[in-house]
Structure 1
């Protein structure tokens, strides 16, 4: 399959999976395939049937708790809207789907700074003047909107771009995920295209 067909198939399957999960409240791959045929999506059912690896991955994904599935699909939507909102020409369309969970400019800048540093952690340390944020306690992060930093970190954690741990001393430390690196590369490609 060419790139356009693959992208279209992926978007179609994910979109139909969201609709199915929302309407059925969770089920398995057999029910999904039956639902596809009942709802005039035989072509999509055929794509899935002809790809054993895709069937296995969908089956594994659908075997999770329904709330976890919906959370992951929601996160995927938020990331797609966030990426699309930075693309020339399509940003206006994406803004109609933004439910305020897209990444802010500050959050995106923090992710980029973290990736470029090759650091292991972003630390949230308490000081007399409030909270300070640094990468591996050696490089202070530039926080342009201090009142929204906690919100940005929370959203990045919910989107699995960062993981958060609380140390025994009560400090928060955030680690970048592989998913965040892939997300940044995807946005870089879109910006330079």
Structure 2
């Protein structure tokens, strides 16, 4: 399968999964294939039926807890729209879609610094006077402009599974990088 066909198939299946899953609490791959046919998506059903590994992966995905599936699909949608909003030619289209959990420019700036630093961790440290600093494990501070929203912006990166979070104390945390973060920042290279 060429890259364009592969991208189209993935996007189509994900879009159809969102619609399918939003109307059901429990389902299986057979229910999904039947629903595809009922909704005039015979070609997609055939693609799935002809690929055993795709069937297996869809079965695993569909059989998860409904709330978890919907959270994963929401995260994927948020990331796709966020990436598209920063690409020439797609930014206008992306802006027409409502994005519930969008990443702010500051959040993306924090993530870009983290990825580019090659650090394994950043640390949130709160001083006695309440000032918050985000420190790179590899030495140096994460720079940001608006301290009012920095914690919310970092949490949005956690919520979108771009970084992981571990409590060190009641107010101090360690954050780890994920592969998705590196891929996400690489996809935005032209937006430096």
Q: Normalized against structure 2, the TM-score is what?
A: 0.93
Give distance in 1, aligned partners of 2:172 and 2:138.
Answer: 12
Aligned to 1:41: 41
Alignment of 1:18-97 (within 5 A): 18-97=18-97
- Unaligned runs of at least 5 residues, structure 1: none
Give distance in 1, aligned partners of 2:23 and 2:100.
Answer: 24
User: 1:161, CA displacement in angstroms?
Assistant: 0.1
SS of the aligned residue for 1:20 comes to helix
User: 1:77, CA displacement in angstroms?
Assistant: 0.3
User: 1:85, CA displacement in angstroms?
Assistant: 0.5
Aligned length: 190
The superposition leaves residues 23-46 of structure 1 with CA deviations (integer Å, 9 ceiling, x where unpaired) of 123311111011111111110000
- Runs of 4+ off more than 3 Å: none
Aligned to 1:180: 181
Give distance in 1, aligned partners of 2:99 and 2:14.
Answer: 19
Give distance in 1, aligned partners of 2:100 and 2:9.
Answer: 27
SS of the aligned residue for 1:24 comes to coil
Q: Normalized against structure 1, the TM-score is what?
A: 0.93
* 1:4–1:15 CA distance, 2 compared to 1 (3 A): same
Aligned to 1:160: 161
For the Cα contact (< 8 Å) 1:101–1:155, is it kept in 2?
yes
Aligned to 2:7: 7
Comparing 137-146 and 49-58, the one that deviates more:
137-146
SS of the aligned residue for 1:140 comes to coil
SS of the aligned residue for 1:101 comes to coil
- Unaligned runs of at least 5 residues, structure 2: none
Aligned to 1:145: 146
SS of the aligned residue for 1:88 comes to coil
Comparing 112-121 and 65-74, the one that deviates more:
112-121
For the Cα contact (< 8 Å) 1:123–1:137, is it kept in 2?
no
For the Cα contact (< 8 Å) 1:78–1:98, is it kept in 2?
no
SS of the aligned residue for 2:31 comes to helix
